[in-house]
């Protein structure tokens, strides 16, 4: 379906043309003065220069051509030359009726269905997930859902950090505690045990302990580096232990991400591409891209137009070891081979932006990607505490994601039980859904690149621009609909008729914007646009609700039309919250 603004624009363009002006002037947008009109067109202002005529004269002539329009109810020329517009209620209702009956509310397929890989999550195995990982996970997940809904083939990859020093640290700590484990016996040739030599609880505490020790104890750190090295060169026992660590960590990570409705298609990690590195290095050398500088192998990536210094991309250190970017480049190479993506999007802390600039340039220069492969870095800002500094626990430590989620759920549970009749089981389920919505919406409603303040009291409030407010609105609609059914009525094949007052019309106009919003959210990979849209929609609905006695209305046709409008509003809201990773309860 064409977007509503396209249809309004076409009508306006025809009027400009009929009045003898260039039709390109007829662009219609949403009014920025809703007190004066619903839509507006500023084309006469632009036309004045071209036609050397007072803008108000042009506007008057165009307005006259719209006198009999079935799309515009009112087109008024106002000084100095704006066209103030109101849409016809019949037309609007017809448009919504068609939207409601069309797949995806009439959203058109993209010109080209692209294959897009989203690299998000970025958990480091063995290290606990912290709140920084929250942002990557929830933003990436939402972008995945938005792009999929928009009609693309999207693959989400968690890209775990599973090959670095943290692995060596955990192994060293394990060796301190259980020196006799067969994994550390390099003469051992038998099978390794199936059971991991630690419990999840022990494992969770091992990395922080090891990391603290390595900061004060040189010797310990050297051991951890050696263990990392042994793992990387393939010493049997270390590889076997690595597998054990993965077997314990990955299910735990899945559970943690799952608690936020985050799901990945691929559980790949840095380790998966290690074998590709030697070949890639050779290729970069053979192509004349990489050269030795101060012992290290590098690729120059600076460009003439640079205003800041962009250092060379280091491929191998002087000791031959690979680095974070070596792995990222090898991953790009592997993704091109396996999936031929048109686009790769990285959802990572914005402090890594120079790093990704280097990686992307290097990938392009060395032709690891095709000329038209799009590499996009979506850098997100920091989640701050109320003091404006990066969010910490009350004790000042790094907050674990797990604790953040469970604390929020507990807080919400108390709130849900207050003054509500609900079984404990239902209260737990509802509290979880509302708490997750509070966290997700609190994050996603901000433009990703900006820092934001994590304010749990505000995020969990049932009023204002919050996830719980949106859910509350959906629950309100659901409850009216079930009461309507209790009156013995059916929710099937109800017809929308034209709006009878301003609040109703306002709600309809808001719904009509769905397609425009979706296109913008997908093109700009911007979940906050979905949030802003549903917040406006929820507000428009609640204004309508407060002014309308729906269930006691005697005019059956009117009542049925309102119910149809409610169903439509509910469906649009449910679709949108799903794009954010949120779920709505039946009661709250």
122 touches ligand ARG by CB under 6 A: yes
- In angstroms, the CA 86 to CA 41 distance is 11
User: Which range, of 99-107, 119-127, 145-153, 523-531, touches ligand ARG by CB under 6 A?
Assistant: 119-127
CB nearer to ligand ARG: give 133 or 230.
133
Q: Cα separation of 510 and 533, whole Å?
A: 8
Shortest CB 313 distance to ligand ARG, Å: 13
Pick the closer one to ligand ARG by CB: 241 or 330: 330
Structure tokens at 511: 């719904």
- Inter-residue contact 408 to 495 (CB < 8 Å): no
Nearer to ligand ARG, 360 or 541 (CB): 360
16 or 346, CB closer to ligand ARG?
346
Q: Which two tokens stand for residue 473?
A: 């609105």
The residues, ordered by sequence, that sit 6+ positions from 87 with a Cβ below 8 Å of its Cβ are 8, 38, 39, 71, 72, 73, 509
Count of residues in contact with ligand ARG, rule CB under 6 A: 8
Nearer to ligand ARG, 9 or 166 (CB): 166
124 lies in the binding site for ligand ARG (CB under 6 A):
yes
Shortest distance, position 356 Cβ to ligand ARG, whole Å: 8
Least distance to ligand ARG, CB of residue 361, Å? 15
Q: Tell me how far apart the alpha carbons of residues 297 and 289 are, in angstroms, rounded to a whole number.
A: 10
Pairing status of strand 343-349 against strand 313-316: unpaired
Whether omega before 80 lies within 30 degrees of 0, making that bond cis, reads yes
Taking the C-alpha atoms of residue 299 and residue 287, their distance in angstroms, rounded to an integer, is 11
Q: Which helix (H) or strand (E) holds 302?
A: none
Quick one: which segment of 9-17, 118-126, 368-376, 446-454 binds ligand ARG (CB under 6 A)? 118-126
Looking up tokens 């077997």 gives 247
Nearer to ligand ARG among residue 145 and residue 159 (C-beta): 159
Query: Looking at the DSSP assignment, which residues form a beta bridge with residue 486?
Result: none
Tell me how far, at minimum, the Cβ of 119 lies from ligand ARG, in Å.
Answer: 5
Binding piece for ligand ARG, criterion CB under 6 A, among 117-125, 194-202, 228-236, 531-539: 117-125
Nearer to ligand ARG, 141 or 328 (CB): 328
3-state SS of 352-414? HHHHHHHHHHHHHHCCCCCCCCEEEEEEECCEECCCCCECCCCCCCCCEHHHHHHHHHHHHHH
Which 321-380 residues touch ligand ARG, going by CB under 6 A? Answer: 328, 346, 348
- We find the least distance from the C-beta atom of residue 328 to ligand ARG, in angstroms, to be 5
Looking at the Cβ atoms of 163 and 533, the one nearer to ligand ARG is 163
Task: Please state the closest distance from residue 163 (CB atom) to ligand ARG, in A.
Answer: 10
Interaction residues for ligand ARG, span 183-212 (CB under 6 A): none
Nearby residues of 426 by Cβ (< 8 Å), 6 or more positions away: 587
Contact, 31 vs 38, CB < 8 A? yes
Name the minimum Å distance from CB 251 to ligand ARG.
19
Q: Residue 346: how many CB atoms within 10 A of its CB?
A: 23
Q: How far is the CB of 395 from ligand ARG (least distance, A)?
A: 23
- Which residue lies nearer to ligand ARG by CB, 65 or 127? 127
Binders of ligand ARG among residues 493 to 552 (CB under 6 A) are none
Beta bridge partners of 298: 291, 314
Give least dist CB 482 to ligand ARG, A.
Answer: 45
Residue of 583, 553, 570 lying closest to 484 (CA atoms):
553
Binding mask 407-436 for ligand ARG (x = CB under 6 A): ------------------------------
For residues 167 and 539, the answer to whether their CB atoms sit within 8 Å is no
Nearer to ligand ARG, 348 or 584 (CB): 348
Query: Which of 585, 586, 584, 582 is closest to 262 using CA atoms?
Result: 582
Give the nearer residue to ligand ARG in terms of CB position, either 272 or 328: 328
Tell me how far CA of residue 565 lies from CA of 71, 112, 242, 304, in angstroms. 20, 33, 56, 57
Taking CB under 6 A as the binding criterion, the range among 64-72, 116-124, 174-182, 554-562 that sits at the site for ligand ARG is 116-124
Chain residues 129-168 in contact with ligand ARG, contact rule CB under 6 A? 159, 161
Compute CA distances 77 → 58, 66, 72, 208, 264, whole Å: 9, 11, 13, 69, 53
The residue (of 134 and 580) whose beta carbon lies closer to ligand ARG is: 134
Residue 5: which of 31, 35, 23 has the closest Cα?
31
Query: Considering the complex, what minimum distance in angstroms separates the CB of residue 400 from ligand ARG?
Result: 14
Q: How far is the CB of 302 from ligand ARG (least distance, A)?
A: 21
Q: Which is nearer to ligand ARG, 158 or 584 (CB)?
A: 158
> By beta-carbon distance, which residue lies closest to ligand ARG?
122
Considering only residues 11, 119, 162, 272, which one is a binding residue for ligand ARG as defined by CB under 6 A?
119
The answer to whether 442 contacts ligand ARG (rule: CB under 6 A) is no
- Site residues, ligand ARG (CB under 6 A): 119, 122, 124, 159, 161, 328, 346, 348
């Amino acid at each position: 379906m064409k977007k509503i603004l396209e249809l309004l624009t076409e009508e306006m363009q025809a009027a400009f043309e009929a009045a003898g002006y260039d039709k390109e002037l007829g662009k219609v947008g949403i009014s920025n003065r809703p007190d004066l009109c619903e839509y507006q067109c500023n084309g006469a202002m632009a036309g004045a220069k071209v036609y050397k005529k007072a803008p108000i004269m042009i506007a008057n002539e165009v307005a006259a051509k719209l006198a009999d329009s079935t799309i515009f109810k009112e087109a008024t020329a106002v000084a100095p030359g704006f066209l103030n517009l109101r849409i016809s209620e019949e037309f609007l209702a017809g448009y919504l009726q068609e939207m409601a009956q069309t797949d995806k509310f009439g959203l058109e397929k993209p010109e080209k269905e692209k294959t897009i890989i989203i690299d998000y999550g970025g958990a480091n195995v063995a290290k606990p997930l912290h709140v920084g990982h929250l942002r990557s996970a929830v933003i990436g997940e939402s972008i995945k859902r938005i792009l999929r809904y928009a009609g693309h083939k999207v693959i989400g990859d968690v890209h775990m950090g599973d090959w670095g020093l943290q692995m060596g640290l955990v192994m060293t700590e394990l060796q301190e505690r259980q020196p006799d484990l067969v994994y550390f016996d390099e003469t051992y040739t038998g099978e390794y045990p199936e059971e991991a030599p630690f419990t999840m609880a022990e494992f969770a505490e091992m990395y922080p302990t090891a990391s603290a020790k390595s900061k004060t104890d040189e010797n310990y750190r050297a051991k951890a580096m050696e263990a990392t090295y042994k793992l990387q060169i393939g010493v049997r026992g270390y590889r076997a232990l690595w597998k054990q660590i993965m077997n314990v960590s990955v299910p735990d990570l899945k559970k943690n991400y799952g608690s936020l409705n985050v799901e990945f298609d691929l559980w790949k990690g840095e380790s998966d591409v290690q074998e590709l590195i030697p070949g890639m290095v050779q290729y970069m050398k053979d192509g004349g891209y990489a050269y030795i500088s101060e012992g290290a192998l590098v690729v120059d990536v600076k460009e003439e137009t640079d205003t800041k210094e962009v250092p060379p991309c280091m491929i191998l250190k002087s000791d031959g070891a690979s680095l974070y970017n070596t792995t990222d480049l090898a991953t790009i190479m592997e993704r091109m081979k396996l999936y031929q993506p048109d686009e790769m999007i990285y959802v990572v802390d914005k402090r890594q932006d120079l790093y990704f600039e280097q990686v992307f340039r290097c990938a392009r220069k060395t032709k690891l990607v095709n000329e038209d492969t799009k590499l996009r870095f979506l850098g997100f800002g920091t989640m701050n505490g109320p003091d404006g500094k990066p969010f910490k626990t009350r004790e000042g430590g790094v907050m674990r994601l797990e604790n953040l989620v469970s604390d929020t759920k507990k807080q919400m549970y108390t709130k849900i039980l207050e003054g509500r009749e609900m079984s404990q089981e239902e209260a737990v389920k509802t509290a979880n859904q509302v708490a997750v919505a509070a966290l997700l919406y609190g994050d996603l409603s901000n433009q990703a690149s900006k820092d934001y303040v994590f304010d749990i009291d505000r995020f969990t409030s049932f009023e204002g621009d919050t996830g719980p407010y949106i859910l509350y609105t959906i629950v309100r609609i659901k409850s009216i609909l079930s009461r309507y059914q209790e009156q013995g009525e059916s929710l099937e094949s109800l017809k929308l008729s034209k709006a009878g007052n301003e609040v109703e019309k306002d709600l309809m106009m808001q719904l009509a914007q769905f397609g425009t919003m979706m296109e913008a959210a997908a093109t700009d990979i911007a979940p906050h646009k979905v949030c802003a849209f549903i917040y406006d929609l929820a507000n428009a609905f609640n204004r309508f609700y407060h002014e309308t006695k729906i269930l006691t209305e005697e005019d059956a046709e009117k009542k049925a039309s309102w119910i149809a409008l409610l169903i439509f509003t509910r469906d649009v809201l449910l679709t949108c919250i799903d794009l954010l990773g949120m779920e709505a309860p039946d009661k709250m």
